[in-house]
Chains A and B, each alone.
Chain A
């Protein structure tokens, strides 16, 4: 069993992440304006000091799903010898961010009430 000390790091259970993936993507795009897929994976890794690693197999389907819903829009740009696809929020995407963040905040508070009733 991994421990949270200087030699072992508790990695976050991917099952916990599954429901939060859209919120993470939307929040990052809200903060950074536009990002490409690889950049999102690296930013998440950097912010969480490697605690959360977004897998490519989960990230791209999520980006495509959000694009299909009209929450994200894309733009292709040339970067030397290849093309790069940038994602950014649409107008409805910006509204979605507010809703998702508020829902996530409520969820975290409720979980804390269950896990740490004394502190909460």
Chain B
């Protein structure tokens, strides 16, 4: 039994494009963001609308490859391709773009992208365990704040920052509750529907509406689960997906995992639980900028060295979601995730003795059959299908 709210979720993208057109007419400013490190609180506090930018589809990659090298990760190529072909409405409507130095490919790509839109690149520290890391990141937050104020012609007040913190914490809590529904065995929501909901939320223009919709969906799932319904049979192998970001257009691995007899119950990746673990500290005696900086720096991304928090998180999630097997998805040429995969496999096997597979692929369909064989064999290993 599929939650009825999924129909509304699926329709969100079109609705949001309309909402953006309206916002534009009302002279609202729109700020496009590529990555989970981008502090949405600052954008909201500037009275602007933060939106995710396209970068999960294969179609614009050919255009990107006229400029960028082929052996670059598909996410970078897709993002760039969407922008230069003007096929991402969110990029099109953006007044300003926030980017980050998450990897070498991205940071150099942004040097080319700035020809198309006013863009600011935040410099991330290389790791979080040095004494100066938070100070550095705080400084970057302040630089971004000035850039936003300058480009959008506004002033970001402490009051607005505090309000934005509260709003986004509520959104995080709502998302976390949605994810947690799939701790139930068998999972009440398919992984494909979950990624659809997570991904669509990113493009959502009105935060309050988005939170209501996610809550409505979660309530509905709770109801369905209460009646004992699930799209999966009892005993279906439960999969945790970790690794590179996934969205609609690049969901082939999730689709195959479920077609071949698995159930993707947990998304550790950036669009998933990785960014929901911590809320921004709402303590009003603190400098909100510091509280924001602190929270964003805790995101366990493979661009940080070392990144042991990710391994700890995976370990926790395996327990919380009763996971039978881990799939570590790496986009081709994403060096940081591909290399870190070794540590993920070691940790998963040593601590849990459950199977872990790293799948390296891109957005194209050229390797579908090969992937299918790997994924089927993995599910067979887990005793499924």
Chains A and B belong together in one complex: no
